[in-house]
């Protein structure tokens, strides 16, 4: 390096140090504040962390990570969709692969071909199910090509066209769904009420050709359109983790888009500009309300579509709330539009096996309408709705006393039993929980469900797990209430609160947490004991658990409350318990039987266990010598 370069470098370093020193002096209060806040944050991380204990329960549907690439064209004059599609999926590792065809018995979809690696595959077509031999062998992931043709009914059905409004819901073949054991679900038959379909979350890349001038809303925005020729346009859509992909369109539509924090775009479509404004006024109240209660919707684009008069009442599809124009009469829209919007969280973001557990999403969306009315109109309006639910429950108990929430869709005697059970009783079950635990914990519970299970298909046990996490314990509420017959009152929440364990001054989170059962603190013996250096094994001779620590040997039988400590009997007051295949011992076991120093703070739900102090060891030695 030349001398002039060295001199220049020295000058630059000197200037840098001087300005750095000035900067430190000038910003010192801010730096101190940052350091203090960092220290405080670390100090605050000593409380119980229930979310680290239990990973989310598995979805009812095994994820094969499907991705659809669909190219389809609507021919309005023939009322027909013609399409080709590629489905990529993980190898299900079963002898067969299943596809679902959710059409009407009187309006069949035709699957023309299924191909794999350029070879045409034979398949068997049932009512709603296509079966074919699995050709994937040891390949981990592959794709299938399907060609299909689906007539569009010229009537106001869930899938159909009326008054030039095209409601295209279950319009393409869908990959079947497996349970976690790898068994394929059989799609339940459609009945006059409800859509008992089983869906599989997937990513979508859709190119849809329609006549020029048609305006569409979909399960993932309005897409991007290009003109193909003088009469046709092609619209391209992409969406991730969608339960299905639906389109509603018309050359007559007026579409307005409104945006909500944090960046949710809502497309509103109607043939009547005045109706768009009415819908908009509801949307501007309902979306912020539901975001407050459930957390942000984990999608960027959703849609509200108004169909013609005399069409299907109201329905939910992925990111879509669809209702008929008749609902403006008697202001029915002020109930059923908030109902369908709530399905964007409860059915769409999180799904159920609709024919078995539909009470979860229908109950949640009905009590969501209560929250909407409460926020927009006040307590009196909201409580009027609760009164309707209560009257429905009384009728349910009188007419169908032996029924329960566990009834499947196909087991209800009449539509009234279905409605009173899933909608009204389901709503009251959730509201009963809200009243027991309070609004704040209830909101935390609902947000926890969304955070844990977005993109999953859930049941009552998933709800109980999320409830326990919100309350920082192990909860039981939905599982027992699901099977209670209608004549019985709801059971209250049962909760075993988690207890933070601090071992030798350090927080420790065992896989099965310590907890308060009744008035007794229970500790997982092996998890905590081994952290403290305790030796634990099984004595085949005595058929007992043998524990050694602090120069003591302790023998105790499972589920017993009397331990043998160095040959002497010791009553612990409470028996050992077994939870999730782990022995749980009362806190007295570590103190009285093993001689550890133990402190329990009932207000903070914290237990401290540490090695015995020298004085305690000396006392124990004297007792032994004596």
pLDDT at 42 over 60: no
pLDDT at 10 over 90: no
Instruction: Report the pLDDT value the prediction gives residue 309, as an integer from 0 to 100.
Output: 95
pLDDT at 262 over 90: no
Q: Return the half-sphere exposure (C-beta side, CA atoms, 13 A cut-off) of residue 475.
A: 26
Instruction: Report the pLDDT value the prediction gives residue 360, as an integer from 0 to 100.
Output: 98
Which residue would you say has higher pLDDT here, 625 or 531?
531
Instruction: Report the pLDDT value the prediction gives residue 542, as an integer from 0 to 100.
Output: 82
With cut-offs at 50, 70 and 90, classify the pLDDT of residue 543: confident
Tokens of 340: 């369908």
Which residue's structure tokens are 């209660």? 293
pLDDT at 528 over 50: yes
Name the percent of the chain lying above pLDDT 90: 83
With cut-offs at 50, 70 and 90, classify the pLDDT of residue 123: very high
In the sheet with 174-175, reading across from the earlier edge strand, the strands are: 124-125, 129-133, 96-100, 174-175
Q: Is 566 helix (H, G, I), strand (E, B) or coil?
A: coil
pLDDT at 341 over 60: yes
Query: Cβ contacts of residue 293 below 8 Å, gap of 6+?
Result: 368, 371, 443, 446
pLDDT digits (tens, 9 = 90+) for 383-425: 999 999 999 999 999 999 999 999 999 999 999 999 999 999 9
SS3 content of the chain, % helix, strand, coil (to 5): 35, 35, 35
Instruction: Report the pLDDT value the prediction gives residue 615, as an integer from 0 to 100.
Output: 62
Instruction: Report the pLDDT value the prediction gives residue 90, as an integer from 0 to 100.
Output: 98
pLDDT digits (tens, 9 = 90+) for 468-478: 999 999 999 99
- Output the average pLDDT for the chain: 90
Which of 612, 584, 586, 619 has the alpha carbon at shortest distance from 598? 612
pLDDT digits (tens, 9 = 90+) for 88-98: 999 999 999 99
Report the alpha-carbon angle 118-123-129, nearest 5.
125
pLDDT at 81 over 50: yes
Which residue's structure tokens are 């023309």? 112
């Amino acid at each position: 390096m030349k001398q002039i370069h060295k001199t220049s470098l020295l000058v630059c370093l000197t200037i840098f140090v001087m300005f750095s020193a000035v900067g430190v002096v000038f910003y010192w209060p801010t730096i101190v504040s940052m350091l203090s806040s960092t220290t405080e944050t670390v100090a605050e991380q000593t409380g119980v962390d229930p979310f680290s204990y239990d990973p989310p329960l598995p979805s009812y549907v095994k994820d094969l990570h499907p991705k659809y690439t669909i190219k389809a064209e609507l021919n309005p004059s023939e009322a027909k969709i013609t399409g080709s599609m590629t489905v990529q999926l993980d190898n299900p590792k079963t002898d067969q692969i299943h596809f679902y065809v959710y059409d009407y018995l009187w309006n069949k979809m035709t699957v023309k071909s299924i191909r794999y690696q350029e070879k045409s595959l034979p398949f068997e077509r049932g009512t709603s199910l296509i079966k074919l031999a699995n050709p994937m062998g040891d390949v981990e992931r592959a794709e299938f090509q399907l060609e299909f043709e689906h007539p569009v009914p010229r009537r106001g059905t869930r899938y159909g066209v009326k008054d030039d409004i095209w409601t295209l819901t279950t319009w393409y073949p869908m990959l079947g769904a497996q349970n976690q054991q790898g068994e394929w679900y059989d799609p339940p038959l459609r009945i006059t009420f409800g859509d008992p379909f089983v869906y599989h979350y997937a990513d979508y890349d859709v190119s849809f050709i329609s006549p020029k001038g048609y305006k569409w809303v979909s399960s993932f925005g309005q897409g991007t359109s290009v003109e193909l020729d003088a009469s046709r346009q092609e619209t391209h859509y992409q969406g991730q983790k969608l339960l299905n992909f639906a389109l509603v369109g018309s050359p007559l539509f007026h579409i307005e888009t409104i945006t909500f924090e944090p960046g949710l775009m809502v497309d509103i479509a109607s043939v009547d500009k005045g109706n768009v404004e009415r819908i908009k006024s509801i949307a501007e109240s309902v979306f912020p309300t539901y975001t407050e209660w459930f957390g942000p919707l984990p999608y960027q684009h959703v849609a509200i579509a108004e169909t013609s008069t005399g069409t299907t009442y109201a329905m939910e599809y992925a990111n879509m709330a669809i209702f008929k124009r008749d609902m403006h009469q008697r202001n029915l829209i002020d109930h059923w539009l908030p109902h369908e919007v709530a399905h964007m969280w409860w059915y769409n973001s999180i799904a159920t096996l609709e024919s078995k557990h539909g009470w979860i999403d229908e109950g949640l969306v009905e009590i969501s309408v209560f929250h909407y009315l409460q926020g927009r109109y006040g307590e009196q309006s909201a409580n009027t709705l609760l009164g309707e639910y209560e009257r429905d429950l009384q009728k349910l108990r009188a007419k169908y006393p032996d029924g329960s929430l566990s009834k499947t869709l196909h087991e209800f005697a009449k539509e009234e039993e279905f409605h009173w059970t899933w909608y009204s009783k389901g709503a009251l079950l959730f509201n009963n929980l809200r009243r027991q635990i309070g609004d704040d914990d209830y909101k935390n519970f609902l947000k926890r469900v969304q955070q844990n299970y977005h993109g999953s298909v859930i049941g009552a046990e998933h709800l109980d797990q999320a409830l326990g996490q919100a309350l920082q314990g192990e909860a039981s509420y939905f599982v027992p209430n699901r099977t209670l017959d209608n004549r019985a009152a709801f059971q209250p929440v049962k909760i075993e609160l988690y207890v933070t364990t601090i071992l030798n001054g350090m927080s420790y989170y065992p896989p099965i947490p310590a907890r308060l059962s009744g008035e007794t603190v229970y500790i997982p013996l092996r998890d905590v004991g081994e952290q403290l250096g305790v030796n634990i094994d099984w004595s085949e001779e005595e058929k007992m658990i043998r524990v050694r620590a602090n120069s003591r040997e302790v023998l105790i039988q499972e589920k017993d409350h009397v331990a043998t400590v160095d040959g002497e009997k010791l009553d612990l007051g409470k028996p050992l318990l077994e939870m999730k295949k782990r022995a749980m011992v009362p806190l007295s076991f570590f103190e009285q039987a093993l001689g550890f120093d133990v402190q329990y703070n009932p207000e903070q739900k914290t237990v401290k266990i540490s090695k015995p102090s020298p004085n305690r060891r000396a006392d124990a030695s004297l007792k032994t010598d004596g």
